[in-house]
Amino acid sequence: MPRIAYFGPTGTFTEMALAQLEAAGTFTGEVERIAAVSQSAALEMVRRGEVAGAVVPIESSVEGSIRPTMDALALGDRLQVMAETELDVAFTIVGRPGATLDDVRTVRAYPVATVQVQSWLDRNLPNAVVEPAASNAGAAEDVAAGLADAGVSTALAGERLGLTALASGVADYEGARTRFVLVTEPGPAPARTGNDRTSVVLHLDNVPGSLVRAMTEFATRGIDLTRIESRPTRKEFGTYLFHLDCVGHIDDGLVAEALKALHRFSDVRFLGSWPSAVPGGGAPMPDADDTAWLERLRRGEAGA
């Protein structure tokens, strides 16, 4: 019965993502879900060996990369992503039992959520004061505790706390999605599927052109970069870590080449290769022909 931490409390989208991973057969045996107060707290539980893995959000199609997750992966002992899943993100506005939208004077919302429902709030609750909550589920807890009239939360959190759904399916941006990853101690990557994602963090020397060089190592090999994100090193203004995601797997010949090439001139942290949750989101990069051709040359075959 593996213990898996998640960014809680109960009722968050992250818990739904964990449930989705469980349903997909990611784990052997029933999972014991352990709520953590933050993304970094969940990952620290992995580092300390208290849990077998942690599920955390990593990117939102609206808000971009989830910085606390990025930073917690980039610093501290190396961890590794083993799986991912995506959720459509639409919010439920929860209120006390019997309340209506007209009663709402104060709304609690997790800041990441606020960005995604601001227009809806402007149209439907123009006079309500919006206050920050600690998480999406936390917004519902705040309502249950009497700290606000309504919360921008999840259906699951509202149900568990016996709250009323004042509105559901609330989302300013159609098709908004969030991606979640399962993180564990380093280990062999899941087997290559042909539709995989690989992620690294680069600590580049502060040399003009070094990022161009890093990206060129992917571009010249025809490997698509799917995400590029800079994060400050927090040591000196204008110095950055770079998070790069590409299609492909460490066992794809060209991806392996690109990783080795990066290793030659930069400090590379490998965050894993794992199956993409999006059908067709990756691209196989066969190099069998090239290798066979090279071997024919090495053997000295005339027809090569």
Residues 190-249 that bind a second copy (CB under 8 A): 208-209, 211-213, 215-217, 219-222, 224-232, 234-238, 240
Q: Does 270 bind a second copy (CB under 8 A)?
A: yes
The site that binds a second copy (CB under 8 A) totals a number of residues, namely 78
Q: Least distance in Å: CB of 181 to a second copy?
A: 14
3-state secondary structure 101-164: HHHCCEEEECHHHHHHHHHHHHHHCCCCEEEECCCHHHHHHHHHCCCCCEEEECHHHHHHCCCE
C-beta closer to a second copy: residue 10 or 61: 61
Report the sign of the C-alpha dihedral through residues 280, 174, 17, 58, in that order. Answer: positive
Q: Least distance in Å: CB of 132 to a second copy?
A: 3
Determine the Cα–Cα distance for residues 122 and 210; give it in Å rounded to an integer: 44
C-beta closer to a second copy: residue 7 or 270: 270
Q: Least distance in Å: CB of 11 to a second copy?
A: 18
C-beta closer to a second copy: residue 98 or 187: 187
C-beta closer to a second copy: residue 33 or 83: 83
C-beta closer to a second copy: residue 18 or 258: 258
- The side-by-side arrangement of strands in the sheet containing 150-153 is 129-132, 106-109, 150-153, 91-95, 164-170
State which of residues 186, 191, 193, 267 lies at the interface with a second copy (CB under 8 A).
186
**What mask of x and - would describe binding to a second copy in positions 106 to 135, judged by CB under 8 A?**
-----x-------------------xxxx-
C-beta closer to a second copy: residue 96 or 221: 221
Q: Least distance in Å: CB of 43 to a second copy?
A: 14
Determine the Cα–Cα distance for residues 6 and 56; give it in Å rounded to an integer: 6
**What mask of x and - would describe binding to a second copy in positions 28 to 67, judged by CB under 8 A?**
-------------------------------xxxxxx--x
Determine the Cα–Cα distance for residues 299 and 304; give it in Å rounded to an integer: 10
Beta partners for residue 228, in sequence order: 244
Determine the Cα–Cα distance for residues 202 and 186; give it in Å rounded to an integer: 17
Q: Does 287 bind a second copy (CB under 8 A)?
A: yes
C-beta closer to a second copy: residue 160 or 177: 177
Which amino acid, 200?
A: V
Determine the Cα–Cα distance for residues 9 and 135; give it in Å rounded to an integer: 8
Q: Which helix (H) or strand (E) holds 25?
A: none
Q: Least distance in Å: CB of 173 to a second copy?
A: 5
State which of residues 87, 183, 189, 204 lies at the interface with a second copy (CB under 8 A).
189
250 in Cβ contact with 191 (< 8 Å): no
